[in-house]
Every structure is written in structure tokens, then in C-alpha cells.
Amino acid sequence: VSINRVEVRLLRLGLREPFGAAHGDLAGERPLAVVRVGAGPVEGWGECEALPVAGYTAEWAEGAFHVLADELAPRITGLAPDQDTIREALAPAVGRAPMAVAALEQAVLDLELRRVGRSLADRLGLERRVVPAGAVVGLAPDVDTLLTRVRSLVDEGYRRVKVKIHPGWDEVPLRALRQAFPTLELQADANGSYQPGETGLLERLDALGLTVLEQPFAPGDLTAAARLRERLATPVAADESAATADDIAAVVAAGAADLVVLKPARLGGVEAARAVHDRLRDAGVGLLAGGLVEAGLGRRALVAVAALPGFTVTGDCSPAHRWLAGDPWPPMAMGDGMVAVHDGPGIAPPPDADALERVTVARRVVGSS
Ligand SMILES: [Mg+2]
């Protein structure tokens, strides 16, 4: 059996709520590149989590669509559909286009699992089959808007809310949230927006009982993060500082984080994420599963990874419909404040064919159609 067909699509999904963060805003829509890899009668799907514009990472959705269609898909047609083969064939592109490569690896993993009728949860050996639901709220125009957004999330059953902060939008909104929701698991994500001299400001947040303060300083400022950790009771997490396995090793060596935000797509996929998870768990470093506004395929992969035992605080585990409208993958189940890990064959159920056509804006097929 060999890969005889790779289909690459650019989808345009709606964004339900503006998603503001210190590094920029996401609003209106979320373009998304996806791939379908076929080997004879079996196929698998992969999702590339590159965002609409470059910045948070070097890749962007539309660019990734072209890289996938023009460069990467032709390299894997004719090869055996197993992850090791694909990883080797695409290794030269990993440095430039890690998330595009991860999308093809994900499709091949999905295909491998489907061929044997096995779920990703089984492959990962998961004992937990549900994870606590965690929502993220972007920067809000005022405190009342923030309170209204968080109120509706709490009413939906979310157990954790992570709030984006930056200098000028931190203590006041967080204090208002803490007063309104005294027992809610509250996290704050600064996206690297504070200067190392602003630790006094961040120390004032320590009284609010946050379970995580994420990425207070710029990614290179490991010394400042290590120093802040000594002065705070609140656990400090590394996200932008932890983009690659090498970055994560440097963060741990510098003592710059209590927790690392693991984004499987950014690290190269589920297998790479599991390897890093195992190392961090052995090193006694906590883990938080980080989202990239995924659709129903990528979000299911994230939720499965988040069920590994090293994930000790609630991650960005909301169903995909929290952010996206028009997602062709079937809705994800959430009940009693928990999100279920997919337990059917593959990483996720296949997308709905009609819904997929409705949101497809470009499509390319490599190999026989
Ligand atoms: Mg973050």
C-alpha cells in the first residue's frame, strides 16, 4: 500500500468572537489549511494550525496551503503511509514549515489508526477519557464586557477561564473577575507583553489566586522569568518561550517556568508532544495543553494529548465550536464541565462532506483523483 492521493484544502471558517491578545487580534474569520491523504481505500485527515497571519509563528494559513500543495504533498505521494517514512521524507522542510509538516503527519497517523480501527486514545494509552473544559477569553474593551463573556462561559459549564492580559489591562479586570467568581479556576496569559522591570505589577496579581501566569516576558527573557518565579506563589508558565523541544530544554535548564504550555501542532504533532510530555513529567515540570483556534480535528488531537497524566492544570480544552462557525467536523461533546476524548477510530470522525464544500475556498489534488 502506498499514498496515491493527497488533497489540500484552504477553508474559511467564521470566528464567533473577536480574539484579542497582546501580540495582535484575530477577528471575523479563521482561514485553515487541511489535508486528506489517501492510500487505496483508507484515508486520513490532517489540520494545519497556522494562524491567519504570520507573527505568533512564522507560518500562516494561506502560505501553508501553498507549501502543502506545491511542495510537501508531491514529496509523499508514492510513499508508504507510515509516520516514520513521512517524517524522513519531510525532514528538510521541518525548520521552515513545522506546522504544515505536522498536518501531513497527523493525516498519516489518522490513516494508520483507521486502517486498524483504533482510536488515538488507545494508541496513547490514556486512562482518562475526559478532561476539564477550559476556555480562553481575549482582551475585552471594558470590564463589564469581560464579566459578561466570562459569565456566559461559566454558565456553559467551563471550569477554567484563561484571560489575556497586557500592561494596563491586568489587575483591575482580574480583580473584578475574582470578586464575581471566587472559586473559578482563573489563569492569565500576558503573551510576553511585560518588561523585566515590571515585576512589581505582576507581584500584585499574586493575591488573586491565579493557577497560572503565562508568558509574562518576551520569549528570550528566561532570566527575568526565573527571577519572577522566586517572588511569586502563582505558577509561571512558558508558552512563546517553549515553541520547540530545544526551547523547552532551555526553559527547564534556566528554571524559567513551573509549567510549560504544550501545543502539539507547534512541536510537530502528537508523537513529538508525547515525547516532550514524558521528559517534562520525569523532570517534575507541569504541563498545560495550549490551543491554536483549532477546528474539530485539531481540537480532538489536543484534547487527547491533554488527557496524558502530566497535564496537571486545565488547558485550552474547549470544544471547537467555542471559537469557530462552519467547522465541518462533527461537534465535540461537553457535559458537566468536561470534554470527552474521541474514542472512535482515528483522531476524529471524518468531516461532513457538504459542510466541507461550503467552507472550502481553494482545493488542490496531488496524485490520482
Ligand atoms: Mg499563551
Distance 155 CA to ligand 1 centre (A): 24
pLDDT for the residue 352: 98
DSSP letters, 295-358, are: -HHHHHHHHHHHTSTTB-S--S---GGGTEES--SPPPPEETTEEEPP-SSBSSPPPPHHHHHH
Average pLDDT over residues 202-210: 95
Distance 136 CA to ligand 1 centre (A): 10
Question: Among all chains, which residue has been given the C-alpha cell 497527523?
Answer: 106
Distance 214 CA to ligand 1 centre (A): 6
Identified catalytic residue from 160, 164, 229, 277: 164
215-230 pLDDT tens trace = 999 999 999 999 999 9
Distance 215 CA to ligand 1 centre (A): 7
Distance 227 CA to ligand 1 centre (A): 20
Interatomic CA distance for residues 53 and 180, integer angstroms: 35
Spacing of C-alpha 344 from chain mean position: 21
Average pLDDT over residues 168-183: 97
Distance 239 CA to ligand 1 centre (A): 5
311-340 pLDDT tens trace = 999 999 999 999 999 999 999 999 999 999
DSSP letters, 123-180, are: HTT-S--EEE-EEEE---SSHHHHHHHHHHHHHHT-SEEEEE-BTTBSHHHHHHHHHH
Interatomic CA distance for residues 213 and 201, integer angstroms: 13
pTM for the full predicted model: 0.95
Cell of 162: 484563561
Distance 110 CA to ligand 1 centre (A): 27
Cell of 40: 487505496
Distance 290 CA to ligand 1 centre (A): 7
Q: Which residues pair with 32 in a beta bridge?
A: 11
149-153, 357-361, 365-369: lowest mean pLDDT where?
365-369
pLDDT for the residue 302: 97
pLDDT at residue 342 above 70? Answer: yes
Distance 292 CA to ligand 1 centre (A): 9
Is the Cα torsion angle 250, 252, 256, 257 positive or negative in sign? positive
Q: Which residues pair with 164 in a beta bridge?
A: 189
Interatomic CA distance for residues 43 and 361, integer angstroms: 22
* Other beta carbons within 10 Å of 218: 17
pLDDT at residue 185 above 70? Answer: yes
Distance 70 CA to ligand 1 centre (A): 31
Angle between helices 98-115 and 270-283 (to 10 degrees): 100
With contact defined as beta carbons under 8 Å apart, do 57 and 99 qualify? yes
Cell of 185: 479556576
Distance 211 CA to ligand 1 centre (A): 14
pLDDT at residue 140 above 90? Answer: yes
pLDDT at residue 24 above 90? Answer: no
DSSP 58: S
pLDDT for the residue 18: 81
Is 263 assigned a catalytic role?
A: yes
Is 162 assigned a catalytic role?
A: no
Helices and strands counted in the chain (H then E): 14, 17
pLDDT at residue 56 above 90? Answer: no
Q: Grade residue 27 by pLDDT with cuts at 50, 70 and 90.
A: confident
With contact defined as beta carbons under 8 Å apart, do 11 and 316 qualify? no
Distances (CA, A) of 24 to 310, 315, 356: 30, 21, 28
Spacing of C-alpha 316 from chain mean position: 7
Q: Grade residue 66 by pLDDT with cuts at 50, 70 and 90.
A: very high
26-30, 278-282, 303-307: lowest mean pLDDT where?
26-30
Average pLDDT over residues 135-139: 94
pLDDT for the residue 369: 57
Give the residue among 70, 74, 75, 110 at the shortest CA–CA distance from 91. 75
89-129 pLDDT tens trace = 999 999 899 999 999 999 999 999 999 999 999 999 999 99
Identified catalytic residue from 115, 263, 274, 300: 263
Distance 191 CA to ligand 1 centre (A): 6
Burial of 282 (0-12, 13-18, 19+ CB in 10 A): exposed
Cell of 268: 510537530
pLDDT for the residue 315: 96
pLDDT at residue 63 above 60? Answer: yes
